[in-house]
Amino acid sequence: MVRKLLVNSPRNFSHIVKFNERTNMKFNKLFSLLALIVLITACGKDEELTPETLEQKIEDITKKHMTNQGWAGVAIGVYDNGTTNFYAYGAKDKADDSKINQNTLFEIGDLSKVFTGALLTKLDLDGTIDEDDPLKDHMPLNANVPDYLGNDILLKHLANHSSALPTMPDNMDLEAEEDVLNQYTTTLLFEFLDGYTMPRNTGTTMEYSNLGYGILGYALKYSQSKTYGDLLKDEILTPLGMTNTFMTFAEAGHDNIAQGYSGPSDEANELLFSEVFEGSGGIKSSISDMLKFIGANLSDDTGNLYEALRKTHIKTIETPDAGNGFGTGWFILNYLDGQLVRFHDGGTMGYSSYMVINPETKRGVVVLINTNTDNAYAHLDIGVEIMKAVHEAAQTN
């Protein structure tokens, strides 16, 4: 018998637990939290923060959070108008105290959604598919995709969390424990879709859905007759020179891999994803490659890929908080002197991540952590604080 489960932090894959009523975190809670973090950090503005003192400030911020949270190691990438800097603290593996470098691989979790959103936009600009296509047109014939009073789920609804699908399906196998996402087959997906009743119309309300983004990744790869990994490589990774990004650690062919930790000391196994969920959280990458991705997002280069990345920054749906919303794969938050930043965070069993970009100033930060603790938002804190420090230092340059 298939038993129900969900993810403890409903917006990521950090902990697999028994099904409960917390099926989704409200978006305004996330934005309110980030706004509070920004407000608190703004109250403590550094009087003498300059480009020369930025490195020490980043070290101070990072070591504070490492001490408070018990993180094993932290890798940070900073992009500023074409210039990149890398910072690393702590251990790649506590067993031998090995050090992190810019090519060390981490699970990036929900940051994968930014890539899946970019895939949709790129294929749309290429004319290969249309983001306004019904999902059912890009699924196998035996997939009975639900609708709401005849209104279809469109691909773009999956990309901005307005599909009316739940955060996770309710027919996952609890006995699979850590391998539950890898064992969730298309057969189970189609069974879920066949029995799912849409609670509301599509395109009207944001509800964060890991399932929705997983289905989007599946539909894109199915429509192109490729694996998700090959599609990602062909459309994004190879053109951007991202040669150290994979769907599994085994694909890397090297051992420069950060050991994940669930809490301060418990080693976490690699979290694997079936074809149903890999577009939602399955990517593994490094700071060096993520900085290439940030740079491409902030580039003025021409071509469909760069245009597609810029298009993902455009707000496609509003949240209750004025000025905030969601683009295609990116949250959009109104902060930093009234400027709009795009961000996403992620979590798996043993890793946490955060990426933020400011297209107006062409700055960005990515933080990869090889630990996931009970504090589901600590990686947001460090990411916001570092982005603020980068912003302040640039004002004195």
Domains, the chain, ranges and CATH? 5-395 (3.40.710.10)
Report the distance separating Cα 14 and Cα 37, nearest Å. Answer: 22
Q: How does pLDDT run across 307-344, given as a tens digit for each residue?
A: 999 999 999 998 766 668 999 999 998 875 678 899 99
Integer Cα distance of 134 and 151 in angstroms: 9
pLDDT at 25 over 60: no
Query: Which residue in this structure is represented by tokens 């850590």?
Result: 178
Radius of gyration of the chain (CA): 20
Looking at the chain, the whole-number percentage of residues with pLDDT higher than 70 is 86
Helical H runs in 173-329? 186-195, 210-223, 228-232, 278-281, 287-297, 304-311
Mean pLDDT of 375-381: 85
For the question of whether the overall pTM of this predicted structure is more than 0.75, the answer is yes
The first and second tokens of residue 249, run together, are 């650690």
Strand, helix or coil for residue 209:
coil
CB 343 within 8 A of CB 349: no
Residue 270, φ and ψ in degrees, nearest 5: -60, 135
Q: What pLDDT does residue 38 have? A: 56
Q: Residue 24 has what pLDDT?
A: 43
* Cα atoms in the 13 Å half-sphere on the side-chain side of 76: 27
pLDDT on residue 10: 44
pLDDT digits (tens, 9 = 90+) for 265-282: 899 999 999 999 999 999
Burial (CB count <10 Å: 0-12, 13-18, 19+), residue 299: middle
pLDDT at 46: 52
**Host H or E run for residue 56:** helix 54-69
Tens digit of each residue's pLDDT (9 = 90 or more) over 46-97: 556 787 899 999 999 999 999 999 999 999 999 999 999 999 999 999 999 9
pLDDT of residue 113: 98
Give the list of residues 6+ apart from residue 54 with CB closer than 8 angstroms, or none: 389, 390, 393
Q: d(Cα 62, Cα 59) in Å, to the nearest integer?
A: 5
What pLDDT shows up at residue 264? 84
Q: What is the mean pLDDT of the chain?
A: 89
